[in-house]
Structure 1
Amino acid sequence: MSTHVPSRRAHPASASDSFPFRRAPLAGIVTALALLASASAGAADSRSVAELEAEIARLQQEIAAKARTGTGTPQAPAAEPAATEGAKALDTVVVRSRHRLERLKDVPISVAVVTGAELTREATADLDGVTKRISNFAWNPGNARTSSLSIRGLGKQSQTDAMDPSVGLNVDGIAYGYNPLSSFDLFDVDTVEVLRGPQGTLFGRNANLGVLKITNKRPTFNPEAEYSVGFGQGQRLTAQGAVGGAIVDDVLAWRGSFRVDRGAGYVKNVEKGYLESTFGNSDRVAGRVQFLLTPNADFNARLSLEMTPTTGEAFNGKTIYTPTPLTYADGSPNNLNTDASTRLGRRWFGQLPGYSYAGSYLYGGGSRNTVNLDHQTPTYTDTKGGLLEMNWNVADHTLTSLTAYKDFRFQVRNDEGTPFDITKRGGGHVDKFSQFSQELRIASKVGGLVDYLGGLHFQSISNRYDSNAGFGSDAGAWFASASQYNLLDASGTGRYLMENALNELVVSPLQKIESKSLAVFGQANWHVTDPLTITTGARLTREDRRNTTSRLIIQDGYGASLNPVSINGVQLGGFNSNATSGALLAGNSAAQLALADLTASRYFGVASYSALSADQLRQIANAKALRRSNIGVLWNETEAESIKKVHPTLLLSPRYKVNDDLTTYFSAQYGEKAGIAQITNGEHNNAKPERTSSFEVGFKSTLLNKSLVLNANLYHTKIRDYQQAVQVFDKYTTELNPANGDQYTSATGNVPKVKAQGLEVDASYSGFRNVLVRFSGAYNDARYEDYPNAAKPVELNNLTAKYLDMSGKTLPGASKFSFSLGAEYRKQVLGDKEFHTSFNTYYASKFNSDNNLSSYGWIDGTARTDIAIGLGKVDKTFDVNLIVKNAFNDTTPLAKTWNTYVPAAPRWVGVVFTGKL
């Protein structure tokens, strides 16, 4: 857990923020901060946060009035030295975990915090850096569309576009309904909070397992200008800044911020067409502008507009290939019929000088950090959005309106791993994801017998997604079976047929996803006695979900005459012939017979199909079979069964303050995540809602004269109908080959029972002079309790079983142990200068990186350490940091299969300059 005190500058109120906004000189802000920090430290001052805010507001008004009349500024209480404030940071951190400003020590849930100042100083702007400082929380990077968030080992499985994330993403009070929106840079951040455990009462349908809550810095009436510039290995350049202040004194303020990040990646693509392209590169630009309107003491409004224009980063493609095992798990031989070693050994692929399976394809070309891809492109993404927040203070209540819009676009072209023209124009494409939301909240003043917060929330989401399968001129020779290849490669005409069978063919599934939700929610804190508070909450969410899908040929390419007559009712215009001999079958129309004659003339120069020899007919039959198998299943536009259902969320959480240094709490929560409307191979296949029950007991304490802050909790979470990829009955394939019995395919469905339980500890210690030590650790046991229909891991593919029972197995991505240990040393030197150094080590025990739990997917336990050393001015006007990430150059792969791995980023060294103007 980070333990740096967040900057508490004046900001627009949340649901319970009650103080007006007034222009104040810097001394006034220092005064307010000193009051809040000293009172939150907790010894003698037991005032509520609301009372503190009121005091801050009074001081701000007094300061503003005296500044206008020239009578001076009231004296602030003596503040503690900076080192002491930092030492008590964990005890004094203020969070918005329940839509209110509250001290972290008073929030009866497991919360971890990282401050924006820490992220900036250590050149961290993505969620990977956040996860290295918080235990039991993971960001699972795929590409910008397939990444996911997981908490307590749950949620790691790749998300589909029609599926709600299990871990909520909430930015400035807005709940995002799409995982890819977590893949963009963080910049100008105040705090990042991770709320572990279900948070659906206040944060909605996307918070079944927890919430990542990001609060950006907000406008103030004080002139502000701050910057950060970094330089590092790999031609890395980062720059970010923020500027703002009053436009109209006491009425209108603004804040503008931006970030730029560019640099090379750590895996190089040596294919000549992309000579300088690298994977894991940085190419990001983002900006945000905000306006704060405070016409009177009872109303304020904030408008925020942001944009990340289209940029390209190469995520997909940094896979390094290793030799495929020669045997399956039971010792049976693996014939390698479809392996790259077999395919690249064909004559067709031996014509490229200097390229070989052993010397070029394996182990990154021998250097372990290069690939050779001809059709891979960067992942192109962009997003923009806007937020209007309005707050009214009315009769001891705060009314809040949050109106927001957010969109996202995505485009990538993937490659199969070679420089040959095989995979072409294939990859995912989000034409446009858009989200509109409106929330209305009412919050009472804090205190009395009960304080409460409630409201209405509406969200509408639209997504247009397709994922092309495209083929090039070498695809036929790559995908042909051994018998098909041998027959077609035997002659020039056969090779022509093999090339045209797939060349320029593009097949595309399309999804049109629509969802609407309307929720009513409320949460109340019942102050039964001075030490005992009971929190109750409920939410009812009405879901309306629709999904219209199709899978069709959108480009026939060169082999249109080799099309089947139809697939699954989709007419393709081919002629009907025997699949083995190639002879024409009865029932062909005149147009089909003419097409057969045209095919014979094109490839063999004969006048009619009947003039073909038996060998020539077999070549056409093999080319048609090759095309048919790679087209796969098709279906016309079909609307999945719509989902219309009300989902409840319930919360009960008593909190007991034993004394000023110890608070205990218990929570019981139940929540549901909506089902998924979807089509699988043309058939309706909706997934059921996910139902989560979670129990947590914990304490928050300060010990050793407040030098040790220790927070800990035990949790037990059970999920029924956990949503992830499972094996489901495949009606289409079963009917296509009835002699083979029931067939199954992978699709998003439900695992009957999943459980996670464990212990989490967050602590900081300031007993050493000028030193702050912080720790965040967890033991986590996340496993499938009942999982009868799991896909076979690749080393068991030789088994005749259609699926396996994985009950009792640990979930993928779930480490048993994880912790973050960090320390920071600060000492004033050379008058107004400050020397500082810090380190952070993150450890995760072994986990399985393969969603199918392959025995080859285990990743060993690994520790990664980041180090920083710097010198700056005490007033923060200038600071320079030397930063070393992955200081001990840990090379443990990020993921593994039985013949691939994804390499980790190597050690990186850079220098970051920060300051204020």
Structure 2
Amino acid sequence: MNKHRPGGQPPRSQKRKDASFQSAALLVAASLLAPNYSYAKDDTDLAAEVERLKKELAASKQENEQLKKSVATTAAEPAVAPAAEVAPVVAAPLAEAIPSKPEFVAEAPKALGEIVVNSRRKEEKLQDVPLPISVVGGEVTKRDNIVSVHEITQKVPNLLFTASNSRQTSIAIRGLGKNASDEARDPSVGVQVDNVPIIWPGSAYTNFVDLDHIELLRGPQGTLQGKNANLGLLNIVTKAPSWKSQYYVEGFAGNRDSLQGKASATGAVIDGLLAYRGSFYIDKRDGFVDNLDGPVTIGKLKETTRLGGRLQLLFTPTEKLSAKIILDRASSTNSQIADYNVIDPVKFTTGELRATSWSTRLARDHFNQNGKTFRAVSGDPRKVQFDDIRGSRADQQGVSGEINYDLPGHKLTSISAYRYGMFEPHNDGDRSPFAISEIAGGTVEARQWSQELRLTSLEPGFGFIDYQVGALGLRTNNDVTSQTAYGADAGAFNASNAAYSRLNATAIGRQLMRDSLDGLLATTLNNPTVTSLSAFGQADLHITDKATLTLGIRDTWEDRSNTTQKYYSTPHDLTLANYKGATAKNISDAISIRGNGISGGILGNQYGKIDRQGFDENSQNWLVNPNYKFTKDLMVYFSVAGGEKAGAALFDANGKAENAKSEKVLDFELGLKSSWFNRSLFVNLNLYDTLVADYQARLTVADATTNSGFRTKTGNVGEIEMQGVELETTWIPLEGLSTFLNGAFNHAVYTDFANAPCVPEDNNSKPCNFTGKTIPNAPQFTVNFGADYRKPLGFYGLDGIVFLNNSYRSGANMNSDLSQYGWQKAYHITDGGIGVASHNGKYNLSLIARNIFDTRFVTNVGSMSGTSTVSGVQGEARYFGVNFRSNF
């Protein structure tokens, strides 16, 4: 027996058989991950995984025989069994202890009592965690073909996701947390992938495959590990390397020319010393939005084209020391943002006609088509009109190293990571078939470095205290280049009514109107940076066998700074000398369209590079969390927690510093976790009351330099309160049938917001009082429910399988300004599938459909202005296809 071998090894014949598979997998992964890397992180508790594998090695022949019998018994039992009392194992279960023959178990959703989480310092049952946590298991992600954060929202309550592209990505919990397109501000909802905190939200705009499970933790986070987050954490855990060779392949083909492929492989490279895991995916699907005026070769918009891979190496030189390195890379390309025109009102709510709007500008004779006034397509989410289609590209990559070392009574963990993300957009910014805004968007290069240390107790201190202490150093550096390139029709579109009438009257005037903006490139640079140092600690005080008190504290120091610059280039110098026959008024009108670089026109105020400005500050997170287990089937908990999100170093339109203050949260949770009817029914209930002070958002402030005397800025809302209840249940009413129901009632309102921007349709630049109004993007009711049924067919060892899920959202205003045009009515999204699978879980062939009834809905609504319509971000349309997957 090799004392350095954490788990049972396959016989030599099996190793020779698997060698070619391992070599091929490593070669593919290495070629995929080759480009410039730095560091990323891992989330599976390595020490726990290694320790588990070590224990498997210690099993005797007698135990192995018992396990074999257990496997044989399992094959004769229903695919979905009631939750057992023994804590389940997350990674490869019984089969790893039996090297002679790989064994697999049928895929089926786990009951809540079977789910294991590791978002705290150790693996533990979900039902034993005294906090509101939702989990989506790896079985469900494979069965339902879940690969994106948007698809996760249909499985857990009170989670919302919006993304037109990487930069327009945001995640909200209980209606709050959306702040896309602002790299100077941290997200209020954190994301962590394999132990690496993901700071740039665009990194969540990707596929997540080879998943072990996904956890959603609600409430302030940060006293235990990682980066602090005010409203919650989405913790994504991929599968870890295994010493036993295993392979997985999956393919999906369907309508909209859908094509998905996934593959993974794991096993030993050097017995007992080095193991690997490699995974790869490709995801391609045509769009569902018709572009009526685009090139015929482009096809429909809102398509998906993604490619990625991950390579993990687990090194165990001694029984006490283990190290894991993860390299990952992902890329995606999309044609562009395809937001549609919801409406462009003719009048304000006062009844006054809108003198200039997107529609009235395009009604000018410059835009006539075949002698007729241009008529725009509006109100249909599946139809747009873009003249310029160019690909937008997103890439991300990273590398992480996690080292675990066993000390007497403790475990020391070090996690070093680097991540790089890039997004390069090419959007047609005017949503029309004309050459107005040819390229619009912000190119981002996001870099982050992190180093985390943790010391975890393995034995209770003083006989009753489990604890973990640690520190995190984090550095982010984001380069943001926002550019707009104007085309030949931009001058005619952006001119005032008076300037257009005068310039359009003569040939030289029309030339000046064209040249005022044609070829103009306006650029704004920003470089927000953050240096963050924090120390944290959390302890469980086991007062009695049934009563535990959890206490946590975190202190974070941050230095945040930013710099900015605005400039432009143009091929046309608007002077009388260059335009013979033009009048001084013609030149003046053309300059009024462009602006003089000091004020007015498209350019506004241009300025050189502004000296870096910023601030440093301390913030605290804390947690008090008592719980009591009345019986093995009933636990009650309470928590009160405080959190703080750092302020932001920002600038106004003139390049002057205009920073936002920090955001503070006070959160109360009261819940119970229970099981009934011999643990066939699990019911978890959570009540919450969350107060958010100084929430970072847009507000209206006085400004004597503007014509109206007011302007909008990013600042701090007085207070928001979210109150509600969340329910999660799983029930196994009969053999082979498992059901789930989760839902939430959420009452989220502004309790102090007297200086909100008024809705654009009111034509009021003064502050409006939104106190008492429901916050945007906060449906009052969310409900997800579904069922999974498996039944042996009686031949060839096959099971028939069928599943159906439904996700419901009540009506909500999806516009950040609460415009009346931002209302999304209540809707359902239904997914389902039917197929056959081998009873041992090795093969599965299914027909899967997403959004079966092709429900049309929006995930965000943009505000109208004098040059744009109300716009909507479309939710994913129906797609379906055949899915095959196999373990071997």
TM-score with structure 1 setting the length? 0.85
Question: Is 2:690 aligned against 1:677?
Answer: no
Q: Which residue matches 2:632? A: 660
Assess if the C-alpha contact under 8 Å between 2:807 and 2:829 holds in 1: yes
* Preserved CA contact (<8 Å) 2:409 2:459: no
Matched, 1:824 2:788: yes
Please give the residue correspondences for 1:119-518 in structure 2 after superposition, counting only pairs within 5 Å: 119-273=141-295, 275-309=297-331, 311-322=332-343, 324-330=344-350, 332-335=351-354, 337-350=355-368, 352-353=369-370, 357-358=374-375, 360-363=376-379, 369-415=382-428, 416-430=430-444, 432-445=445-458, 447=460, 448-518=463-533
Query: How far apart are residue 159 of structure 1 and its match?
Result: 4.9
Residue of structure 1 equivalent to 2:886: 915
Identity of aligned residues (%): 32
1:767 match: secondary structure: strand
Deviation of 1:832 after TM superposition, in Å, equals: 0.9
Q: Does the C-alpha gap of structure 1 residues 446 and 211 become closer, same or farther in structure 2, counting only changes over 3 Å?
A: farther
Distance 1:152 1:712 in 2: 15
Q: Deviations along 1:694-731, whole A, 9 cap, x unmatched?
A: 0101010001221110001101100110012222445x
Give the aligned residue type for 1:514.
Answer: T
Contact 2:718–2:753 (CA under 8 A) maintained in structure 1: yes
2:740 is equivalent to residue 806 of structure 1? no
Q: 1:765 to 1:507 in 2, by over 3 A?
A: same
Q: Deviations over 1:202-233 (max 9, x none)?
A: 24544110000000111111111101100011
Instruction: Give the structure 1 partner of residue 709 of structure 2.
Output: 742
Cα shift at 1:20: 6.1
* Superposed displacement of residue 178, structure 1: 1.4
- Stretch moving more, 444-453 or 633-642: 633-642
Among 720, 724, 728, the residue aligned to 1:758:
724
Report the Cα offset of residue 197 of structure 1: 1.3
Conservation of the 8 A alpha-carbon contact between 1:270 and 1:276: no
Unmatched 5+ stretches in structure 2: 1-6, 10-42, 596-600, 865-869
**Separation in 2, partners of 1:848, 1:439:** 40
Q: 5+ unaligned residues in a row in structure 1: which ranges?
A: 1-7, 563-598, 606-611
8 A contact 1:169–1:206 mirrored in 2: no
Tell me whether 1:709 sits opposite 2:674 in the alignment: no
For residues 290-328 of structure 1, the C-alpha deviation after alignment (integer angstroms, 9 at most, x for no partner) is 11111221111111101114x311351231354x33332
Q: Secondary structure at the match of 2:244?
A: coil
d(CA) in 2 for partners of 1:685 and 1:446?
50
The answer (yes or no) to whether the contact 1:95–1:101 under 8 Å persists in 2 is: yes
In 2, Cα distance between equivalents of 1:42 and 1:423: 58
The reply on whether 1:604 has 2:588 as its aligned counterpart is no
**Alignment-derived partner of residue 793 in structure 1:** 759
Q: 1:552 aligns with which of 567, 570, 592?
A: 567
Q: Deviations over 1:852-885 (max 9, x none)?
A: 0011211111111101111011122211110121
Larger helix share, 1 or 2: 1
- Of stretches 438-447 and 815-824 in structure 1, the one that deviates more from structure 2 is 438-447
Q: What does residue 596 of structure 1 align with?
A: none
Question: Counterparts of 1:469 and 1:826 in 2: how far apart (Å)?
Answer: 55
Tell me how far apart the structure 2 counterparts of residues 87 and 281 of structure 1 sit (CA, whole Å): 30
Letter in 2 for 1:421: A
What is the alpha-carbon distance in structure 1 between the residues aligned to residue 787 and residue 749 of structure 2?
33
Within the candidate set 51, 55, 58, 1:19 is matched to 51
User: Contact conserved, 1:506 with 1:557, CA < 8 A, in 2?
Assistant: no
What do you get for the CA RMSD once the two structures are aligned? 3.1
CA distance in 2, matches of 1:633, 1:31: 74
Taking the aligned partners of 2:859 and 2:440, their CA distance within structure 1 comes to 25
Counterparts in 2 of 1:33 and 1:118: CA distance versus 1, 3 Å: farther
Q: Give secondary structure in 1 for the equivalent of 2:443.
A: strand
Distance in 2 separating the partners of 1:279 and 1:29: 57
- More displaced 10-residue stretch of structure 1: 87-96 or 250-259: 87-96
Aligned partners of 1:16 and 1:443 also within 8 Å: no
Give the distance between the partners of 1:713 and 1:763, measured in 2 at CA.
12
CA distance in structure 1 between the aligned counterparts of 2:511 and 2:64, rounded to whole angstroms: 80
2:224 aligned counterpart, secondary structure:
helix
Quickly say closer, same or farther: Cα 1:531–1:772, change in 2 above 3 A: same
2: CA distance, partners of 1:53 / 1:882:
28
Structure 2: which amino acid aligns with 1:139? F
State the Cα distance separating 1:102 from its structure 2 match.
0.9
Displacement of 1:158:
3.0
Could you give the per-residue CA deviations for residues 649-670 of structure 1, whole angstroms, max 9, x where no partner exists? 1111011010111011011100
SS at match of 1:620: helix
Q: Tell me the alpha carbon deviations over residues 655-686 of structure 1, each in whole angstroms, 9 at most, x when there is no partner.
A: 10101110110111001100101111211111
Q: In the aligned structure 2, how far is the partner of 1:396 from the partner of 1:33? A: 36
Counterpart CA distance in 1 for 2:803 and 2:390 is 38
SS across alignment from 1:193: strand
Structure with more relative contact order (C-alpha pairs < 8 Å, separation 6 or more): 2
Tell me the equivalent position of 2:673.
Answer: 700
Contact 1:281 / 1:313 at 8 angstroms: preserved in 2?
yes
Q: Report the CA distance between 1:117 and its aligned residue.
A: 2.8
Return the letter of the residue paired with 2:677.
L
Give the structure with higher Rg (CA): 1
1:865 paired to 2:830:
yes
The match for 1:117 is 139
Please state how far the C-alpha of 1:42 moved relative to its aligned partner: 7.8
Post-superposition CA distance 1:217-275 (Å, at most 9, x none): 11111111101100011101000110121111111111110010112100132435463
2:586 is matched with which residue? 619
Change (3 A) 1:779 1:912: same
Quickly say closer, same or farther: Cα 1:850–1:546, change in 2 above 3 A.
same
Q: Which moved more, 1:238-247 or 1:14-23?
A: 14-23
Q: Distance in 1 between matches of 2:207 and 2:675?
A: 35
Taking a change above 3 Å as real, the CA distance of residues 88 and 99 of structure 1, as seen in their structure-2 partners, is same
Q: Report the number of matched residues.
A: 822
The answer as to whether partners of 1:724 and 1:750 remain within 8 angstroms in 2 is yes
Shift in CA distance, 719/535, structure 1 to aligned 2, threshold 3 Å: same
Offset at residue 44 of structure 1 (A) = 6.3
What SS does structure 2 have at the residue aligned with 1:296? Answer: coil
Q: Is 2:843 the counterpart of 1:878?
A: yes
Q: 1:338 to 1:206 in 2, by over 3 A?
A: farther
CA distance in 2, matches of 1:218, 1:385: 17
Q: Secondary structure at the match of 1:19?
A: helix
Aligned equivalents of 1:647, 1:663: Cα separation in 2 = 32
Amino acid at match of 1:515: V
In 2 relative to 1, CA 766–384 (structure 1 residues): closer, same or farther, beyond 3 Å? same
Counterpart Cα distance in 2 of 1:623 and 1:88: 67
Matches within 5 A, 1:716-735: 716-730=689-703, 734-735=704-705
> Is 2:222–2:536's contact at 8 Å kept on the other side of the alignment?
no
- Counterpart in the other structure of 1:576: none
AA at the equivalent of 2:476: I
CA distance in 2, matches of 1:531, 1:321: 56
